[in-house]
Amino acid sequence: MQSFDLVVIGSGPAGEKAAAQAAYFGKRVALVESAADPGGACVNSGTIPSKILRESALYFSGLKQRGLYGVDYSLREGLTVKDFTHRKDVIVDLEREKIRKNLTAHHVDVFAGTASFEDAHTVAVTAAGRSPLQARGEVILIATGSRPHRPPEIPFDDTFIFDSDTILKMDRIPQSLAVVGGGVIGCEYASIFTALGVKVSLVDGRDRVLPFLDAELSALLQERLANLGVEFFLGERMAQVERSPNGVRLALKSGKTLGPEAALFAAGRRGTVDGLGLEKVGLALNQRGYIDVNESYQTSVPQIYAAGDVIGFPALASTSMEQGRVAVCHAFGFNYKQRVASQLPMGVYTIPELSAIGESEQSCKEKGIEYEVGRARYANNARGAMAGDTSGLVKLLFRRDDRRLLGVHIIGESATELIHTGMMVLEVGGTLDRFIDFVFNFPTLSEMYKYAAYDGLGNLAGHKLREG
């Protein structure tokens, strides 16, 4: 038995940052990781690898240059997945090493093995070829992340039928791919493979992709992906999935049949809690398969906290890091990081990428908020023209009575970077006038905030001051 102030289970974004935060303030910290490498899904199978693949797809396909110079690049004959993922492997190794160095620098004791609760203060750590050890913590943080949901009726073989983790291990680039699921992961991979010239079909039971986004942005993304070649089957549900001589056969309940070479099922994730022994400490999963917590990420057992994907939405690396920090600051009473920011940016790394924060038009209507909209289009922006992006949009929502900013929605080049300017104004309760007063570098995409604000003022006054 070894005793610690904090025992963290999992080394993904929530676990790593929580462990480092507690150690920084002088607490003795242990971290348990069952995988061979640290970083969780963020580094090893999700956030970073998929975003690197996105950049590789843009590079190999020359997709950006097509619109810029009218040159149609085609993929090099014989391009393999190894070619495609080489840069991913290099960067992932660098990220893993950064995590190891961070934990070492903070003197966090790292234990390799699988953790399971003995009681509300003690976890047993089991590893092959070693006797189990026990770690006692005054506080325990569960940060075990999530895994793809694999419905039993889907014959996953990870050769032709993949989930969102195993598709990264694909040994070839298929000529055709069916993506089942129109959420973030499904849309990201659909756009990546489409950029590589793969014929992609996207199937979802809902009437639009990314339904949590402002409807205008969701529609623009669908239009853009359709122009790139994605075929949509919306409002459709799976009836049967089976292997076929040429790959995969997907029968839809409408009677339609798809016959792609490969299929990706991206229909949700579940908390990774198998083997943790939550029942021993009186913790149960909610209906969505995640652990319930309060605003301080404390579970129903006071000394046990949970953060990151294991608690569900929004399941973003950025928010998971902050959740882990807030959890340990609350647990130990540190006068630091008392809450996660009230407004959280959403980044979707499709091609084109999207980002959003705050209210959407739909949420404003549901809440009865009197709002107005200002838009600026990449097509009217010099930097947008230089980048070859003529379909992007910056959209601002603001209150009609006092012009206070309500939400920011962006689709296009660098959307996930641009969002932070609007986020800062939103967080301090700023108005549309902030963007009018700012001086932006020229030519930049950022100056679209100013012209979206001008457009909003024109809409508010009932006439256009200037085309955005």
Give the pLDDT of residue 255: 96
DSSP 279-306: GGGT--B-TTSSB---TTSB-SSTTEEE
User: What pLDDT is stored for residue 263 in this prediction?
Assistant: 97
Own/partner pairs for 109-113, CB < 8 Å, 24+ apart?
109/2, 109/4, 109/28, 109/29, 109/30, 109/31, 110/11, 110/30, 110/31, 110/32, 110/33, 110/38, 111/30, 111/31, 111/32, 111/33, 111/135, 112/33, 112/34, 113/32, 113/33, 113/34
Question: Taking the model in full, what pTM does it have?
Answer: 0.89
Residue in this structure with the two tokens 């070829």, named with its chain if needed: 129
pLDDT band for position 251 (cuts 50, 70, 90): very high
281 and 237 inside one domain: no
| 466 domain-assigned | no
Average pLDDT, the chain: 91
Same domain, 401 and 383: yes
Nearest CA to 147 among 34, 255, 292? 34
pLDDT at 126 over 60: yes
3-state secondary structure of 44: helix
Q: Is residue 467 part of a domain?
A: no
Nearest to 361 by CA among 216, 233, 464: 216
What CATH number does residue 405 fall under?
A: 3.30.390.30
280 within some domain = yes
Least confident of 165-174, 351-360, 388-397: 165-174
pLDDT score of 60: 72
Asked if 108 and 236 sit in the same domain, the reply is no
Q: What pLDDT does 289 receive?
A: 83
Computed over its alpha carbons, how large is the radius of gyration of the chain?
24
Same domain, residue pair 183 and 235: yes
Cα 331 from Cα 305, distance rounded (Å) = 8
> Is 134 in the same domain as 274?
yes
- Burial category of 411 from C-beta neighbours within 10 Å (exposed 0-12, middle 13-18, buried 19 and up): buried
Percent of the chain with pLDDT over 70: 94
The answer to which of 9-18, 79-88, 447-456 has the lowest mean pLDDT is 79-88
List, for residues 89-123, the tens digit of each pLDDT value. Answer: 888 899 999 999 999 999 999 999 999 999 999 99
274 and 251 share one domain: no
Q: Which pLDDT tens digit goes with each residue over 70-94?
A: 444 455 556 666 676 777 788 889 9
Chain segment 275-319, per-residue pLDDT in tens: 999 999 999 988 878 999 999 999 999 999 999 999 998 888 999
Domain of 33 in residue numbering reads as 2-146+270-332
Looking at per-residue pLDDT, the higher value among 421 and 62 belongs to 421
Pair 255, 277 in one domain:
no
Q: pLDDT-derived band of residue 464, with 50, 70 and 90 as boundaries? A: low
Residue 343 lies in a domain: no
The whole-number average pLDDT for the span 410-414 is: 95
Confidence category of residue 53, pLDDT binned at 50, 70, 90:
confident
Judgement on whether residues 222 and 255 belong to the same structural domain of the protein:
yes
Give pLDDT, residue 74. 52
Asked whether residue 66 carries a pLDDT value surpassing 60, the answer given is no
In order, the DSSP letters of 47-64 are: HHHHHHHHHHHHHHHTHH
For the chain, the first-to-last Cα distance in angstroms comes to 65
Q: What is the pLDDT of residues 145-192, one digit of tens each?
A: 999 989 899 999 999 999 999 998 888 889 999 999 999 999 999 999
Domain assignment of residue 339, yes or no: no
| pLDDT value at 208 more than 80 | yes
CA dist., res. 196 & res. 174, Å (int): 10
pLDDT at 68: 46
Instruction: Tell which wins on pLDDT, 387 or 257.
Output: 257
Beta bridge partners of 137: 4
Same domain, 451 and 382: yes
Does 138 reside within a domain?
yes
342: exposed, middle or buried (Cβ count in 10 Å: 0-12, 13-18, 19+): exposed
What is the CATH classification number for the domain harbouring 129? 3.50.50.60
Q: Is residue 256 part of a domain?
A: yes
Of the three residues 267, 284, 319, the one that is the final residue of a domain is: 267
Looking at residues 380-398, what average pLDDT do you find?
Answer: 92
Q: 65 pLDDT exceeds 80?
A: no
Do residue 142 and residue 8 come from a single domain? yes
Rounded Cα distance between 150 and 270, Å, is 9
Residues 321 and 358 in one domain: no
281/259 same-domain check = no
Q: Is residue 446 part of a domain?
A: yes
Domain end position, chosen among 267, 300, 316? 267
Name the domain count of the chain.
Answer: 3
CA 288 remoteness from chain centre: 18
DSSP 316: -
Answer yes or no: are the C-beta atoms of 215 and 361 closer than 8 Å.
yes
**Residue 427 token pair:** 């967080």
